[in-house]
Each structure stands twice: as C-alpha cells, then as structure tokens.
Amino acid sequence: MNKTVLITGATSGIGLGCARKFAENGDKLILTGRNEQKLAEICRELTERGCQVLTLAFDVRDREKAKQSVNGLPEEWKAIDVLVNNAGLALGLEPEYEGDLDDWETMIDTNIKGLLTMTRLVVPGMIERGRGHIINVGSVAGDAAYAGGNVYCATKAAVKALTDGLRIDVADTPIRVTNLKPGLVETNFSNVRFHGDEARAKKLYTGIKPLTGDDIADVAVYAANAPEHVQIAEVLILATHQASGSVIVRK
C-alpha cells in the first residue's frame, strides 16, 4: 500500500536521498526544509517522475511555524503514515571548554527540540488512525563520544533515548519506531560543520569510500515496508572501513 511520508530536512543529503527513494516506492511525499527554492526544484524533479509532492518551507526550530504547517495540511495530506525525522546538523569540532554557545544552541534546538516538535505534531494522528511509523535519523555518534564531538554526540545520544522512549510509549499500538544510526556519510554535513570550509570538510572523506544519502535511504524504505509485525528498532550503518565513530581506516 502506498504511504504518505513526511520527511524533514529534505533538501539535501539523507533527507533528499529518502525523498527520492520513497518516491521510487510510489509513496506520496510531504517535504520540509528551510530553503524554499530547493524544495521547489526537488518538487519539480519528483513530480516529473509521477510522484505526488507537497512542500512545506519552515525550520523545525520554529515551533509555531511547524505547528501551522502541519495543522494546516490539506485534508487529503493529513493522514501521515511515515514521519522521517531527518533534519539535523553538527557545528564545530572544538573542545567542549572552547565551544561556541550559538553552535550548541542550534544543534540542541534542531537535533533534539525540532525532532520532538515534529513527533508531538504528527504522532497523535497516527495513534488515532491506528497506523504509522516514525523513523528518526540518529548517528553512530550517539553510541559514544569522539574527540571534538561533545555536544553533537550528546544530541544524537538524546535521539537514541527519545526513540527508545517513544517505542515504549507506543508499544500497545501498531505504531513502529526506528532509529537509523549512520556513520561516515558524504553529504554537505561536514561543510556545514566547518562553516563552509570545503577543504577541511573534504579531508574527512579522504582515503575511504563513505556512505551516501541513498545508502541510508535504502534502509529507511526497507524499514517502512517491512511486514506489519516486524519492527526494525535500530540499525547501525557504517562504511566498510569504519568500525565505530572514532575508528576509521583510510587507505
């Protein structure tokens, strides 16, 4: 059965990969992001492929705008079957005692509070309808801290705890909850982390074939289409030469 899938942070990286893969699967897409122009471009691309797409331009940190956008969905788009909480970012790699307070606030507001806002807005409808799936994009960084990762790692550890907590909360319903934990994925993630320093960002992927947004999207689509009695609770997805958040073999 085709589903209605809402994806946050859908304009690049894992979010864009998910948009394309769910579109290939024949699902209807609600795509959110901060960049209205990019959303329009992706909408055109996927509509030309025969996919039904609705775009919502807002920042998940803006609770009121998120609320207006979700509550204002046209009637035929309200029954969201899959929520992909993908919007997130890392900023900086400084030691914790030298970190930028604004960077910390942005990560916490996006990675934790934004995810909570979307969950609070969408999941009650799933409970009411007796069907739904929440896929949170966490990280290997949520399993253990690495040098310079401090606050980012803490936000992804929070994603794990929130995902596990939600799974417990809905265990008496048919709702499924998944935590995807990617390792090294080549997107604009590192470019954002280093505030646009492309040379520094590129170094992270030197000597190893990293994952792509499409690789993570493949797992998301698989989880969403598993038989109803199967709940893919958590998946750690690493590049072949990555063993953990801090162990990467470069050749």
CA distance 238 to 180: 11
Instruction: Kindly state the greatest CA–CA separation across the chain.
Output: 53
pLDDT of residue 221: 98
Handedness of CA 26, 27, 32, 36 (dihedral sign): positive
pLDDT tens-digit series, residues 12-70:
999 999 999 999 999 999 999 999 999 999 999 999 999 999 999 999 999 999 999 99
pLDDT of residue 205: 86
pLDDT of residue 65: 98
205 classed as catalytic: no
CA distance 55 to 41: 10
Look at residues 119, 113, 121 and name the one whose alpha carbon lies nearest to residue 136.
Answer: 119
pLDDT string in tens for the chain (251-residue length): 799 999 999 999 999 999 999 999 999 999 999 999 999 999 999 999 999 999 999 999 999 999 999 999 999 999 999 999 999 999 999 999 999 999 999 999 999 999 999 999 999 999 999 999 999 999 999 999 999 999 999 999 999 999 999 999 999 999 999 999 999 998 876 677 777 777 776 787 889 999 999 999 999 999 999 999 999 999 999 999 999 999 999 98
What CA–CA distances, in Å, run from 214 to 18, 186, 237? 7, 10, 12
Angle subtended at Cα 17 by Cα 54 and Cα 4, rounded to the nearest 5 degrees: 35
* Partners of residue 236 on adjacent β-strands: 181
CA distance 62 to 49: 31
Distance of CA 54 to the CA centre of its chain: 18
* pTM of the predicted protein model: 0.95
Phi, psi dihedrals of residue 53, rounded to the nearest 5°: -135, 135
* Partners of residue 5 on adjacent β-strands: 29, 82
Q: Which of 146, 152, 205, 222 is catalytic?
A: 152
